[in-house]
Amino acid sequence: MIEMWKWIQEDWRTHPIRFSLEVACWINNLLIAIIFNTTVPNLPFLLLYPMWIGGSLILSWCCWRRGSVGMLATYLMLVAMDLYGYSKVLFG
């Protein structure tokens, strides 16, 4: 646990913007999960899709800055898939 705390502190010291964005996206994902779980089966996709897509784009940038190709590819794939889903919600 001490090593993890040191790693978190080092990440904050060396990359405060990226660290802050990652924490903000974590909170965003928590809010999405709460909204999702409290509104089933009538999900507010017009709210949830933009929240998810925006967070995924921000996390894509964070992955690129970290040098994580696998995570970057995953988040970009999620953005593409969710843009398709969001377009179906908007345009039928």
- pLDDT for 34-83, tens place per residue? 999 999 999 999 999 999 999 999 999 999 999 999 999 999 999 999 99
**Distances from the Cα of 61 to the Cαs of 10, 14, 35, 39, in angstroms?**
19, 16, 25, 30
Could you report the per-residue pLDDT of 4-31, keeping only the tens digit for each? 999 999 999 999 999 999 999 999 999 9
Instruction: Name the packing angle between helices 69-91 and 45-66 (round to 10°).
Output: 160
Question: Cα(38)–Cα(36) distance, rounded to whole angstroms?
Answer: 6
* All structural domains of the chain with their residue ranges: 17-91
CB count, 10 Å around CB of 84?
Answer: 9
19 Cβ neighbours under 8 A, 6+ residues apart: 11, 12
